[in-house]
Amino acid sequence: MTRSANLGFPRIGLHRELKQALEACWKGSIDTAALQATARELRKRHWQLQRDAGIDVIPSNDFSLYDHVLDTTMMLGAAPQRFANIDDKTALYFAVARGTAEAPAMEMTKWFDTNYHYIVPELHRGQQFSLGSAKAVEEYLEAKALGIETRPVIVGPVTWLSLGKTRDDGLDPISLLDAVLPVYAELLATLKATGAQWVQIDEPVLSLDLSDAQKSAMRRAYEVLAPVAPRIMLATYFGALLDTTELAASLPVSGLHVDLVRAPEQLDAILTALPGNTVLSVGVVDGRNIWRADLDRQLGLVSRAWDSVGPDRLEIAPSCSLLHAPVDLDGETDLDPELRSWLAFAKQKLLEVAALTVAMQKGRAAAKEAFDASAAATQSHRQSTRIHRPQVKERAGAALDLDRRSRFPARRDAQRARFRLPAFPTTTIGSFPQTGDVREMRAAFRHGRIDAPVYESFLEAETEKTVRIQERLGLDVLVHGEFERNDMVEYFGEQLEGFAFTRNGWVQSYGSRCVKPPVIYGDVSRPAPMTVRWSAYAASLTDRPMKGMLTGPVTILQWSFVRVDQPRADTCRQIALAIRDEVLDLEAAGIGIIQIDEPALREGLPLRRRDWDAYLRWAVDCFRATASGVADDTQIHTHMCYAEFNDIMPSIAALDADVISIETSRSDMELLQAFRNFRYPNEIGPGIWDIHSPRVPSQADMEALMRKAATAIPAEQLWVNPDCGLKTRGWPEVEASLEHLVQTARALRA
């Protein structure tokens, strides 16, 4: 009979219980046993919740104290050598994740195109692996003791190796496959001996562009593992299989999970390729977003699969693990009821999966209530004036104004004449320390303990203090400090139409860190200026140029839950036009330098190269549309961090910002080679102070970085600035570092 399945449940807990327990444990205020007790409690609660929701196939080992890729690394006994002196398992686990005084943490990067960060495996030639953790077995047994049969989840060997990085030149991580397979085999055999009927092995790399080596590793891995393992459900997600369809379907596994939310069009190809006895798990409820499913439409998709594979070879599931969705919508009582009726969090998504399964087993009438509610929501969604606003659509549908009045050389001359900045001008990226005071005052204001005039005069005082400090330090282009902002996306979302905010819509970002992305549910517009008041106030305090600070449209899109009833590009255009109006209002208020931050531009790149161009085209257009309305002598800056720019240099140049500041200090200016090779035409501020570290760099450190930069980029194009905003730093380090930074610029001028 057709079964309902889940691929993974959020671990953090409805009230971020895991976060609290982790942070208490790290501080030493609870011990490891207490942390483990909280973790066990969460697992139990989540297993029971899934069973109560009507899920037949419930995952285990999807839980993690920090990260599931790190769990796999520990399973393989692959903690780096520099931690070899730590014996205690839990201490080792957190040391590897977070670093110690002696040894830096393992690196972290984004899990495919999500905002979840995993700990990057470190690989080297001749590496030895051995079973370091049987967590998968322990958690399987833990559920079993509660009377719940589960399907353990592990990250597959090809994905684990592909996500790793190596410092050994010329070493393809995949060449370590034969070294890791015996450990996988040992673990899988143990699971089988323990009674597990099935195991879910995640190989999301199957939806990327794979090398031949990766493809043959995939074959070899499952030829070795399938005979010793429980029945394998091979899980793919985040996109279509395309050229790996045949490969995935021909592996000697018992089941294949495919993502039919991101790629519904792949169903036919999958059905054609799938051998006659393989179970097909159809991912038809979106695990990556918060929208309620249109159950009738998804039932159509499931029925097509059913027609082909029959009832006994079909599983119905979310598209991917629900790790990327918040836990439960039930607590969102502040949301407008109509808006709420359009949403589904993890728990509600499982109810959708269960309803689809019941409908397949017994007919739609057997799940009438769920289907009726879904149909009503779909109907209200289609018509709501809260979502669809004709003027906004009309404006965003028209051709965008993409070009500044003049090309860069003419603008540069006009800007030089206007601002008369010295060579190697100095500036910062925007925010200044968000101290406890600032956060407390904001909380007090939000909760009504202080009124607006009190809060505003506090912000004015902070801003003025920051302006005076920058003047005293001798910075050339000042900023107001962003004290009024909680977060660079939320601050704008709260002032734009079409955005909503949840109370508990937390999703894990990394370790104990969670984010609560805004929800873009409707057409976006800007009812009133958003930043002019603070920029104009700051500008009135000083004779030096004051830089206005905005978040760019691609970053606002990327860090939100975005509506799926229209292309992302269309939503981005609407945001771009709202930001454009803000740019023009800033300019009209006399702000001559405006920075539009796009730190998330690179991370929005699609997983497959064939989709890059289309994305980059609209992303670049949207940025250009925010900036193109200003006069030649208004200087547009942009800022990016955490990015590999080599791949997308032409697009960065196509943004045509007058100045770009980028994070470079950690990579020792290596990034600048991309700018040099490309002969990047406009001005650049390579970050010379790694603001993610509390360390105060000396003037000599900074000067060395700038001199290195000057070998890649002509000196007259260079600015001097930190890597990123300073909001997480303390004032003493900020003042000391900026003093060195200004001295660095002076030394270079001399």
If one asks whether residue 549 binds ligand GLN (CB under 6 A), the answer comes out as yes
Q: Which stretch binds ligand GLN (CB under 6 A): 202-210, 621-629, 652-660, 719-727?
A: 719-727
If one asks whether residue 725 binds ligand GLN (CB under 6 A), the answer comes out as yes
Question: Which residue in the set 593, 724, 726, 738 belongs to the binding site for Zn ion (CB under 5 A)?
Answer: 724
Task: Residue 239: name its binding partner from Zn ion, ligand GLN, none (Cβ under 5 to 8 Å by kind).
Answer: none
If one asks whether residue 539 binds Zn ion (CB under 5 A), the answer comes out as no
Question: Which residue in the set 727, 729, 740, 745 belongs to the binding site for ligand GLN (CB under 6 A)?
Answer: 727
Angle between helix 731-749 and 452-473 (nearest 10) = 40
- Calculate the alpha carbon distances from 420 to 260, 380, 703 in Å: 57, 57, 23
If one asks whether residue 601 binds Zn ion (CB under 5 A), the answer comes out as no
Q: Verify whether residue 447 is a known catalytic residue.
A: no
**Closer residue to Zn ion, CB minimum distance, 425 or 685:** 685
The dihedral through the CA atoms of 21, 25, 27, 29 has a sign that is positive
Cβ 115 to ligand GLN, closest distance in Å?
13
Kindly state the number of chain residues that form the binding site for Zn ion, as judged by CB under 5 A. 3
Q: What span, in angstroms and rounded, lies between the C-alpha atoms of 395 and 18?
A: 45
Footprint of ligand GLN on residues 582-601 (CB under 6 A)? Answer: 597, 599
Q: Answer yes or no: are the C-beta atoms of 310 and 343 closer than 8 Å.
A: no
Kindly state the number of chain residues that form the binding site for ligand GLN, as judged by CB under 6 A. 13
Q: Which stretch binds Zn ion (CB under 5 A): 387-395, 408-416, 482-490, 724-732?
A: 724-732
Check residue 730 and report its DSSP letter: -
Angle between helix 368-383 and 295-309 (nearest 10) = 130
Alpha-carbon 248 to chain mean position: 27
If one asks whether residue 396 binds Zn ion (CB under 5 A), the answer comes out as no
Q: Count Cβ neighbours within 10 Å for each residue of 297-317 and write b for 16 or more, e otherwise.
A: ebbebbebbbebbeeebbbbb
* Phi, psi (deg, nearest 5) at residue 200: -100, 120
**How many other C-beta atoms are found inside a 10 Å radius of the C-beta of residue 185?**
18
**Closer residue to ligand GLN, CB minimum distance, 4 or 651:** 651
What residues contact 391, with CB distance under 8 A and at least 6 apart? Answer: 525
Q: What span, in angstroms and rounded, lies between the C-alpha atoms of 206 and 404?
A: 42
Q: Answer yes or no: are the C-beta atoms of 326 and 274 closer than 8 Å.
A: no
Q: Which of 2, 636, 18 is nearest to 310 (CA)?
A: 2
Question: Which residue in the set 475, 641, 734, 741 belongs to the binding site for Zn ion (CB under 5 A)?
Answer: 641
Footprint of ligand GLN on residues 481-520 (CB under 6 A)? Answer: 482, 488
**Closer residue to Zn ion, CB minimum distance, 257 or 639:** 639
Cβ 23 to ligand GLN, closest distance in Å?
23
Q: Which stretch binds Zn ion (CB under 5 A): 30-38, 326-334, 336-344, 718-726?
A: 718-726
Cβ 615 to ligand GLN, closest distance in Å?
20
Cβ 264 to Zn ion, closest distance in Å?
36
Task: Residue 431: name its binding partner from Zn ion, ligand GLN, none (Cβ under 5 to 8 Å by kind).
Answer: ligand GLN
Output the residue with the shortest Cβ distance to ligand GLN.
Answer: 725
Cβ 101 to ligand GLN, closest distance in Å?
27
SS3 per residue for 544-585: CCEEEEEECHHHHHHCCEECCCCCHHHHHHHHHHHHHHHHHH
If one asks whether residue 430 binds ligand GLN (CB under 6 A), the answer comes out as yes
Q: What span, in angstroms and rounded, lies between the C-alpha atoms of 750 and 744?
A: 10
CA triple 408-661-642, angle to 5 deg: 130
Point out the catalytic residue in the list 46, 639, 692, 740: 692
Binding marks (x or -) toward ligand GLN, 376..415, rule CB under 6 A?
A: ----------------------------------------
Task: Residue 314: name its binding partner from ligand GLN, Zn ion, none (Cβ under 5 to 8 Å by kind).
Answer: none
Task: Residue 430: name its binding partner from Zn ion, ligand GLN, none (Cβ under 5 to 8 Å by kind).
Answer: ligand GLN
Locate tokens 């059913």: which residue?
306
Which residues partner with 548 through β-bridges?
594
Q: What span, in angstroms and rounded, lies between the C-alpha atoms of 302 and 321?
A: 19
Q: Count Cβ neighbours within 10 Å for each residue of 540-554 and write b for 16 or more, e otherwise.
A: ebeebbbbbbbbbbb
Binding marks (x or -) toward ligand GLN, 635..654, rule CB under 6 A?
A: ----x-x-------------
Cβ 4 to Zn ion, closest distance in Å?
42
- Collapse the DSSP code of 132 into the 3-class scheme (helix H, G, I; strand E, B; otherwise coil) and give the result: coil
Cβ 171 to ligand GLN, closest distance in Å?
33
If one asks whether residue 488 binds Zn ion (CB under 5 A), the answer comes out as no
**Closer residue to Zn ion, CB minimum distance, 42 or 726:** 726
- Collapse the DSSP code of 217 into the 3-class scheme (helix H, G, I; strand E, B; otherwise coil) and give the result: helix
Kindly list the residues in this chain that would bind Zn ion in the complex (CB under 5 A).
Answer: 599, 641, 724
Note the residues at the interface with ligand GLN (CB under 6 A): 429-431, 482, 488, 549, 597, 599, 639, 641, 724-725, 727
User: Annotated catalytic sites, by residue?
Assistant: 692
